[in-house]
Structure 1
Amino acid sequence: MTLHSASPSYAAAELRAYEHRTNHAFIQAAGSADDAAQIARNEGDMDAWWNMTFLKAENLLDAEEFETCAALASELADGPYATTDRHAKAGAYILVAKARQGAGLLEQAVDAARAAVQLVSDDDAGVDVEIDVEIDVKARQALIASLADSGRLEEAWTECLALAEAVSAEVDDQLIGKVYWVIGNVAFLCSRVPEGLRYHELAAATFSPARNLDVWAKFNKASAAMRLAADIADADTLRCIERAELATDVIGGSANDYLLMRLNRAHWNFLAGESNAAIELLEQIRADLETPSPQILGEACLLLGRSHAALGNADEARKYLQEAAEHFDKAGAPQRAEQAVEFLSDAP
């Protein structure tokens, strides 16, 4: 973090923003970043204004204010005060992609992520190699995640191979771990289960709870979800679930973090033959959702339908599987919608 030195009031607002962010107080961090941005604008420093507005958008993303984040990041990329620096512009597009993905607007997420990748790939003139590789990796990660969520798995796997080639010695270990993580995710989704397990093992070897407990928690939560989606309900999967729950209890988490962990628990219960316990958890999830994304609703309804089908509750199974298909269609995830329809055709 390099603090701007234009004025004491700017420096104080910027410092508050970073302190709030360190403490995971993302809404407060966004507010302080906005204060710093306004001071910078009043002082005529538009570079500092852009940087602080970007920080505000990052915090809005982490606070799961997806629509507000996407609108702000879009302004930073293409608005009247958009930057001409391609790395910064690519960073703004990555934020748009992640926010659209969080909101379940998957086609828009893919478009924004492609724009980021294109920006980084187009210009190879004298640039800082380390920065160039890092932003390239982050852009490809965003593209792969949005392609995978929308069910375009062959495209996602092709991008994974390109991403694997982009990784080099210049990339930080934590970022390499995230690369292995996302490639493993797509391998699981493509039914390449041995490759998925291998890449997630490589990722786990780079992450440490002592170095970054937040990343450790998120990785274990995501790895558990991928294992469960592949119907792997073994001791390693349970260990991932428990690690994520324990770490999140220590550091706290967003509403989405807790939601996904409860989905994992419900999925575990279902695969363990405890369908009633799964249904109870999933009904709680549906009741607690205030502004659910269609993707999350689709996953919950899909599990509800399968759990009811396992208990022979034909009417309930059909109802929830039909809802799942509708939610996945709305999210722009046709492959998941097709899976829901397949389960529907097999329902009792």
Structure 2
Amino acid sequence: MQRNSVSPSYAAAELQAREHRSSHDFGRAASSAQVASEIATNDGDLTAAWGMRLFQAENLLDAGDFEACAALAAELVDGAFGAPAEDARGKANILLAKARQGAGMLGQAADAARMAARLSSGAGDVENNVKARQALIAALAESGRLEEAWSESLMLADDISNEVDDQLVGKAYWVIGNVAFLCNKVAEGLEYHELAAETFSPARNLDIWAKFNKASAAMRLAAEVADADTLRCIERAELATDVIGGSDEDHILLKLNRGHWNFLAGDPQAAIAILTEISTVAEKTSPQILGEASLLLGRSHAAVGNDSEAQTHLLEAADHFEKAGAPQRAEQAREFLTAGP
């Protein structure tokens, strides 16, 4: 049953949720969205209730609470809060894919993203189809299925149309560039990230600007491109995150980038000091990120001759990557046990 008017209590809760999100207080935004959903349910407006549950999941994702987001998104997909239309189920599957990726459940993330792509395609929803395919490419790439990820990337690059908002086009170029870097196609990676950078600006969306520069720096560093442009990406991301705040995950990734930069710049001791901080907050991040931090720690210790510490961290890295469903990265970590820094 659909209400003809919005109750004052629902309007107040929804407004509070959106104000918290505008202030980047994603945890409170999620709590207020849940309250709004419960009010809408009691008022008999199941459409508004479902929409607020979806908004709650979006904020849980941005708060870095991947397990809670995945649980709620799975309930939305399964119809626990009412049977949604195809396009709505597609949106919930996109959130489910992103949350599972954040939690290190990479195979399941790819499955959810494929379902989202099918649903959005069937509903003729171009924007959400692009988002779903981005999520699929990211999950495939992070799990080491690079040939599949690159094939999907090339198809997405061909399909991006004028119907899609510039910011979304930028995000598509961003993820395609990521895959190019992972495939050792460094020139293509730099090209696609440059295309993405042209669509973003700190004035339009500082949060996206921060996230892009942080992620672009990470990809450049992974390709061992430690030039002035990479350092600018790191500094832009740090400055923007200082302004807007950012989740625990954001700050951990910034530390990971700084540590990686120090390692490539020939200062492994500084890298060790920064990367060790990540292990103290292991519960706040995913197995994949812990694997990357442990891998860099192992290489940094090896570079200064701490062979025992290096071995410990490289074995930890392999374990984290296995838990994340990234066996190729696990094998790379084991290779460093014998190859050295």
* Structure 2 length-normalised TM: 0.96
User: How many Å separate the matches in 2 of 1:266 and 1:257?
Assistant: 14
Contact 1:318 1:347 in 2 (8 A): no
User: How many Å separate the matches in 1 of 2:79 and 2:87?
Assistant: 16
Q: Of residues 162, 168, 173 in structure 2, which corresponds to 1:169? A: 162
Shift of 1:67: 1.1
Shift of 1:340: 0.5
SS of the equivalent of 1:343 reads helix
Q: Partner of 1:267 in structure 2?
A: 260
Q: What are structure 2's unaligned runs of at least 5 residues?
A: none
Q: Of residues 219, 231, 238 in structure 1, which corresponds to 2:224? A: 231
Q: Are positions 1:286 and 2:283 aligned together? A: no
Contact 1:30 1:59 in 2 (8 A): yes
Q: Partner of 2:310 in structure 1?
A: 317
Aligned-partner residue type, residue 203 of structure 1: A
Q: Partner of 2:324 in structure 1?
A: 331
User: How many Å separate the matches in 2 of 1:328 and 1:31?
Assistant: 32
Shift of 1:82: 4.2
User: How many Å separate the matches in 2 of 1:253 and 1:80?
Assistant: 31
Alignment length (residue pairs): 338
Contact 1:270 1:307 in 2 (8 A): yes
User: How many Å separate the matches in 2 of 1:83 and 1:190?
Assistant: 40
Q: RMSD of aligned C-alpha atoms?
A: 1.4
Q: Of residues 243, 248, 254 in structure 1, which corresponds to 2:241? A: 248
User: How many Å separate the matches in 2 of 1:171 and 1:336?
Assistant: 34
Q: Partner of 2:67 in structure 1?
A: 67
Aligned-partner residue type, residue 270 of structure 2: A
Contact 1:133 1:167 in 2 (8 A): no
Shift of 1:57: 0.9
Q: Are positions 1:141 and 2:134 aligned together? A: yes
Contact 1:34 1:53 in 2 (8 A): yes
Off by >4 Å, runs of 4+ in structure 1: none
Q: Partner of 2:148 in structure 1?
A: 155
User: How many Å separate the matches in 1 of 2:273 and 2:322?
Assistant: 25
User: How many Å separate the matches in 2 of 1:222 and 1:291?
Assistant: 18
User: How many Å separate the matches in 2 of 1:147 and 1:324?
Assistant: 20
Percent identity at matched positions? 68
1:85-133: per-residue Cα shift (whole Å, max 9, x none)? 1111010001111111111111111111111112123x26xx5xxxx11
Q: Partner of 1:258 in structure 2?
A: 251
Contact 2:67 2:100 in 1 (8 A): yes
Following superposition of structure 1 onto structure 2, how do residues 31-180 of structure 1 map, counting pairs within 5 Å?
A: 31-121=31-121, 123=122, 127=124, 132-180=125-173
Contact 2:210 2:241 in 1 (8 A): yes
> Please, which moves more after superposition, 5-14 or 151-160?
5-14
SS of the equivalent of 1:151 reads coil
1:39-94: per-residue Cα shift (whole Å, max 9, x none)? 11111111111001111111111111111111111111113434341111010001
Q: Are positions 1:21 and 2:21 aligned together? A: yes
Contact 1:266 1:281 in 2 (8 A): yes
User: How many Å separate the matches in 1 of 2:187 and 2:336?
Assistant: 25
Contact 2:90 2:120 in 1 (8 A): yes
Aligned-partner residue type, residue 266 of structure 1: G
User: How many Å separate the matches in 2 of 1:184 and 1:206?
Assistant: 14
Q: Are positions 1:10 and 2:14 aligned together? A: no
Aligned-partner residue type, residue 280 of structure 2: A
User: How many Å separate the matches in 2 of 1:88 and 1:165?
Assistant: 25
Contact 2:249 2:285 in 1 (8 A): no
User: How many Å separate the matches in 1 of 2:104 and 2:303?
Assistant: 28
Aligned-partner residue type, residue 331 of structure 2: E
User: How many Å separate the matches in 2 of 1:59 and 1:137?
Assistant: 20
Q: What are structure 1's unaligned runs of at least 5 residues?
A: none
Aligned-partner residue type, residue 39 of structure 1: I
User: How many Å separate the matches in 1 of 2:120 and 2:203?
Assistant: 33
User: How many Å separate the matches in 1 of 2:11 and 2:97?
Assistant: 30
Aligned-partner residue type, residue 294 of structure 2: C
1:14-48: per-residue Cα shift (whole Å, max 9, x none)? 11111111111112111111111111111111111
Q: Are positions 1:210 and 2:206 aligned together? A: no
Contact 1:148 1:156 in 2 (8 A): yes
